Amino acid sequence: MDNAMTLKGHCLCGAVGLSVEIEKHNVAACHCRMCRTWGGGPLLALESVRRVSIDGDKAVAYYASSDWAERAFCRHCGTHLFYRLTSGEHYAVPAGLVDQGEAWSLDSEIFIDEKPPWYHFGNDTHRMTGQEVFDAFGADQDKSIGNAGKAAKGD
């Protein structure tokens, strides 16, 4: 049985629209320094993304944040649109971009060892340090990290 659902969202100025197909309403938090620098706090993203469709792709700008990943944003208003592996195998879409009042579940946190002490989530989550992420998803961090490991690396 396929429980996939499609959510729609758009950037602040409306120049870019996204249709995001997800498997479940789970949200993961990444506390790595790069994600916190990108958004001013942890990245709270949908991780069970199957597909992303873009309307207004001429307004999308990309930043290659590593050799294997890039971040996309609206070139007009700066709204963060997604983090993705350049292979296209993984997308992380900020939950707030498509939030229509869904019953989200924050179920995991990665790079917990890089989380600053001034904030804390109150619910129980599966927590992994950066090293635990690398250990769980691949030994060769430069070439063949598994999808979640690449995404979790925070790049």
For 71-88, the pLDDT digits (tens) are: 999 999 999 999 998 888
* 126 class by beta-carbon count within 10 Å (0-12 exposed, 13-18 middle, 19+ buried): exposed
Query: What are the structure tokens assigned to 132, written together?
Result: 């635990």
Q: For the chain, how far is it from start to end, CA to CA, in angstroms? A: 34
Query: Is there a contact between 80 and 97 (Cβ–Cβ < 8 Å)?
Result: yes
Predicted local confidence at residue 119, as pLDDT: 96
In CATH, what class is 5-152?
Answer: mainly beta
List the single range of 103-112, 128-137, 144-153 with lowest mean pLDDT.
Answer: 144-153
With bands split at pLDDT 50, 70 and 90, how would you rate the model's confidence at 66? confident
Average pLDDT, rounded, for the chain: 86
Q: Please state whether beta strands 105-110 and 126-128 pair in parallel, antiparallel, or not at all (unpaired).
A: parallel
Q: Where in the chain does DSSP place strands (E)?
A: 5-10, 17-22, 26-30, 43-46, 49-55, 60-64, 69-74, 80-85, 91-94, 105-110, 126-128
Please give the share of the chain, as a percent, with pLDDT higher than 90: 70
Domain ranges within the chain, ordered by starting residue: 5-152
Q: pTM (2 decimals)?
A: 0.82
